[in-house]
């Protein structure tokens, strides 16, 4: 679990799809494919789209006629690959997708780093600023963040 349910969602976006499996809580960037977002291994120069609020799973199994042969489970907060994803653009979240080598303190500026994680160190001048820390990491490794992605 990368994102705890303790959230204050202010602005969200449901206009994009994702072409690969991913867990919620990571920062995703706009893709070169129109209408898609992606998790980049190196986000240098990439524009951040938001925090992924749903799990993207490879569960859309189609039969020979192109009909989905698995039934949707509406009790789970997940979408199939290429389904519309829910992104947070402004709000307060509790996530464990943080750079393990960083020490966080209240007020630290946060930047996107490899694989959509939060970092308090800007690896290079072209890694986008996405918000700030509201506290230090808790004993479970979760960090309370305020995100403001324009």
pLDDT confidence of residue 49 = 94
Is residue 60's pLDDT more than 70? no
pLDDT confidence of residue 36 = 94
Is residue 66's pLDDT more than 70? no
Domain 8-148 has CATH 2.40.300: yes
Over the stretch 81-126, which tens digit does the pLDDT of each residue have?
888 999 999 999 999 888 888 888 899 999 998 888 898 887 666 7
pLDDT confidence of residue 61 = 54
Residues 6+ apart with CB under 8 A from 16: 35, 36, 37, 49, 84, 85, 87
Is residue 143's pLDDT more than 80? yes
What residue segments make up the domains of the chain, in order of their start? 8-148
Residues paired with 45 in a beta bridge = none
Q: What is the Cα Rg of the chain in Å?
A: 16
Average of per-residue pLDDT values in the chain: 85
Is residue 38's pLDDT more than 80? yes
pLDDT confidence of residue 30 = 94
Q: SS3 breakdown of the chain: % helix, strand, coil, rounded to 5?
A: 0, 40, 55
pLDDT confidence of residue 14 = 93
Residues paired with 36 in a beta bridge = 17
| Of 125, 140, 119, 118, the residue nearest 50 (C-alpha) | 118
Is residue 63's pLDDT more than 60? no
């Amino acid at each position: 679990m990368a994102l705890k349910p303790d959230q204050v969602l202010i602005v969200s976006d449901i206009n994009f799809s994702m072409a690969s499996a991913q867990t919620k809580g990571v920062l995703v960037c706009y893709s070169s494919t129109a209408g898609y977002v992606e998790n980049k291994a190196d986000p240098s120069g990439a524009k951040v789209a938001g925090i992924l609020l749903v799990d993207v799973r490879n569960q859309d199994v189609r039969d020979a006629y192109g009909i989905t042969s698995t039934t949707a489970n509406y009790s789970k907060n997940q979408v199939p690959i290429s389904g519309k994803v829910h992104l947070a653009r402004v709000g307060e979240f509790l996530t464990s997708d943080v750079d393990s080598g960083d020490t966080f303190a209240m007020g630290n500026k946060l930047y996107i780093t490899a694989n959509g994680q939060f970092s308090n160190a800007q690896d290079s001048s072209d890694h986008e600023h996405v918000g700030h820390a509201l506290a230090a990491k808790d004993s479970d490794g979760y960090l309370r963040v305020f995100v403001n992605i324009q």
